[in-house]
Structure 1
Amino acid sequence: MPLTDMPLEQLRSYRPETAAPEDFEDFWAGTLSTAREAARAAPPPTFPRITDSPLRTVDVHDVRFPGWDGQPVAAWLLVPRGADAPLPTIVNYIGYGGGRGLHTEHLLWSAAGYAHLVVDSRGQGHATPDPDPVPGPHYVGGFMTRGIDGPEHHYYRRLITDAVRAAETVRGHPAVDPARVIVTGHSQGGGLALAVAALAGTEVAAALIDVPFLCHIRRGAELAVAGPYPEIAHYLGVHMRDDPESVFSTLDYFDGLHFARRAAVPALFSVALMDPVCPPSTGFAAYNHYAHSDKEVVVWQFGDHGGGRGSQTLHQLRWLEGRGLGPDGAQGTT
């Protein structure tokens, strides 16, 4: 992928002025209030430990917790064996089209001394279905257009709610220090981490947001040549040539630019300048709007959608340690 977006000098100051829906805050406050009420009526979270895992240095728990509408969401909780609790905890959201996978695929954070919650994505991961009772439009080319006729029934209302509920739920586990819960993700997972940084407020301590999807969605639909954004362009090209605004008015409720303006915790972003899936201007737009003063962006000049890969992880580990959010940092008291 060649460099087709703005030069880096322009990206660093790119801050498009886009208005959130007038009822954006009420929409999300009502959504989460309803989800929490449903969770109280649903079976409580369960954290059974897997007894037949071949792993010897980590305890693995096969989690279920109530998410959207009290529906059960799957996750893995990995806890370093023998570690002194409570631990700083990573809540990890997954990229588009993926789920929590196998627990053996997620060993880095526990190896570094963190508890690690890996959250399944409803309808994407095999362990969490998406039983939305309200049908979407007849044509659905992917998750971006599932429920595109209005925000109330859009797929990302449910997925973002699950993401917030995951961060809220893990704070109650005895292995977790509730004052050191960090949300993270790559691509779609980065967009979810950004949303949670706004919606969960100080219930999380920091956000690690890598090459985020769901940011400046309209520009993504105009520029991206791979990944989910072209689903929107294809939908509009085939079905709604004369009314694109109704589509983008729905997607505005899930756009990271509007969450970024409301974020209340420190954040480490990454952006890759040769990303064909999430154009760098979309990531910089979110970063430049991010409200908390303690923020940093790592730029991968020749990175594709993989961003900085393992090198970014090293940045994350050091960044957290520098803020007292590593395993050797001071424990919270809440």
Structure 2
Amino acid sequence: MPFSDMSREALESYRPDLPAPADFDERWTATLAEARAAGGEVAVTPVDAGLALIEASDVTFPGFGGDPVRAWWLRPRGLTATAPVVVEFNGYGGGRGLVHERLLWAAAGYHYVFMDTRGQGSAWGNGGDTADASGGGDAGAPALPGFMTRGVREVETYYFRRLLTDAARCVDAVRTLPGIDPTRVVVAGASQGGGLAIAAAGLVPDVAGALVDVPFLCHIERGVRVAEHDPYQEIARYLAVHRDREEETFRTLAYVDGVHHAARAQAPALFSVALRDDVCPPSTVYAAYHAWAGPAQMVVYPYNGHEGGQAYQQRRQLTFLDHLWENR
């Protein structure tokens, strides 16, 4: 179904004035310091996934509050030289699934780490393995959405504060893995994963690059007002009941908004947007793209919805990273 957000010309110049909360940097600095101080080991267990050319491991690392977060680590079998790594984050409601589902980056010669999403993994795909331990113990086991309003009354209790911290801590953990070049860490993702990639690049500003596709969690207030579908509409339905909580809700959401994290991200970035996207409206994507502090490129898919460029965009990403390493 055609979706009209803004004209292409309007999108190209769309730079909304969205001041970050006054204590944005202070809060996030404290949050990451607390997570790092919580300690915890990075554990690596080899996995026999039946892949003759790919070596796979199950990684557990400490995320928010030191909570254990799972990830898959794939790389070409027999790789001996130090190599760059792509760290990818997942879309809303999905888990890390099975090892053999995501082979592109390892097949291209990269290390590849795919982070599980705490508490998610039961809406689509092949499941998740990470509980939202700080969100309620056993009650935080992988479940269906919605997560958008979980703990939203306060920044300290908000679900996405924990998840964004996990993304930053995943970068920390990846840099300790053998064979990985810690100066060539690329963060990546689509939809929710794109929002997490933006946040990781802002919270860990020395990553080498970012691949951001049709990102969620950007210009969130506008997304709530114009998106036709979830996850943004979870917030709209919540506020339809809690009519007196609009101000406090959007105050909390501002701390996870990708526009503010993009303004702190220095790495070269390749964005993509789909102009018929009624899940993450194009204007919300452009808001983050135009806020990005480092160099950034945008790829536009005029006739696609939230699926975006898919394999076509992956082909562009491979080329983008080839050029990135050539220019370093």
How high is the TM-score relative to the length of structure 1?
A: 0.92
Change (3 A) 1:85 1:181: same
Supply the AA of the counterpart residue of 1:303.
N
Question: Partner residue of 2:218?
Answer: 215
Q: Distance in 2 between matches of 1:32 and 1:214?
A: 19
Aligned residue runs from structure 1 range 275-286, under 5 A? 275-286=277-288
Question: Partner residue of 1:15?
Answer: 15
- Asked if 1:234 is matched to 2:230, the reply is no
Q: Distance in 1 between matches of 2:211 and 2:267?
A: 10
Q: Distance in 2 between matches of 1:48 and 1:175?
A: 16
Q: Distance in 1 between matches of 2:203 and 2:299?
A: 24
Question: Partner residue of 2:251?
Answer: 249
Aligned residue runs from structure 1 range 314-325, under 5 A? 314-324=315-325
Question: Partner residue of 1:189?
Answer: 193
Question: Partner residue of 1:47?
Answer: 44
Question: Partner residue of 2:162?
Answer: 158
Q: Deviations over 1:74-121 (max 9, x none)?
A: 000001012233111000100000011000101111011111000000
Structure 1 runs, 4 residues or longer, greater than 3 Å off: 133-136
Question: Partner residue of 2:125?
Answer: none
Q: Distance in 2 between matches of 1:324 and 1:250?
A: 38
Deviation of 1:168 (Å) = 1.0
Supply the AA of the counterpart residue of 1:186.
A
- Corresponding residue pairs, total: 317
8 Å CA contact 2:120–2:145 kept in 1: the answer is no
Aligned residue runs from structure 1 range 67-216, under 5 A? 67-125=63-121, 126-132=128-134, 142-202=146-206, 204-216=207-219
Deviation of 1:227 (Å) = 2.3
8 Å CA contact 1:269–1:287 kept in 2: the answer is yes
8 Å CA contact 1:75–1:117 kept in 2: the answer is yes
Q: Distance in 2 between matches of 1:238 and 1:117?
A: 40
Secondary structure at the residue paired with 1:143? coil
Supply the AA of the counterpart residue of 1:242.
D
Supply the AA of the counterpart residue of 2:262.
A
How high is the TM-score relative to the length of structure 2?
A: 0.94
Change (3 A) 1:134 1:120: closer
Change (3 A) 1:193 1:133: closer
Identity, in percent, stands at 51
Structure 1, unmatched stretches of 5+, are none
Q: Distance in 1 between matches of 2:261 and 2:67?
A: 24
Q: Distance in 1 between matches of 2:133 and 2:78?
A: 39
Secondary structure at the residue paired with 2:251? helix
Q: Distance in 1 between matches of 2:135 and 2:88?
A: 27
Secondary structure at the residue paired with 2:44? coil
Question: Partner residue of 1:37?
Answer: 37
- Asked if 1:61 is matched to 2:23, the reply is no
Secondary structure at the residue paired with 1:225? coil
8 Å CA contact 2:135–2:159 kept in 1: the answer is no
Q: Distance in 2 between matches of 1:183 and 1:243?
A: 34
Secondary structure at the residue paired with 1:65? strand
Q: Deviations over 1:188-210 (max 9, x none)?
A: 000000001111011x1000000
Secondary structure at the residue paired with 2:52? coil
Q: Distance in 1 between matches of 2:161 and 2:35?
A: 11
Q: Distance in 2 between matches of 1:188 and 1:200?
A: 18
Q: Distance in 1 between matches of 2:188 and 2:136?
A: 30
Q: How large is the RMSD of aligned CA atoms in angstroms?
A: 1.7
Change (3 A) 1:196 1:133: closer
Q: Distance in 2 between matches of 1:115 and 1:287?
A: 27
Q: Deviations over 1:270-311 (max 9, x none)?
A: 00000010000000010011111x210000001110100100
8 Å CA contact 2:106–2:112 kept in 1: the answer is yes
8 Å CA contact 2:150–2:159 kept in 1: the answer is yes
Q: Distance in 2 between matches of 1:100 and 1:297?
A: 27
- Of the candidates 252, 258, 261, which is equivalent to residue 259 of structure 1? 261
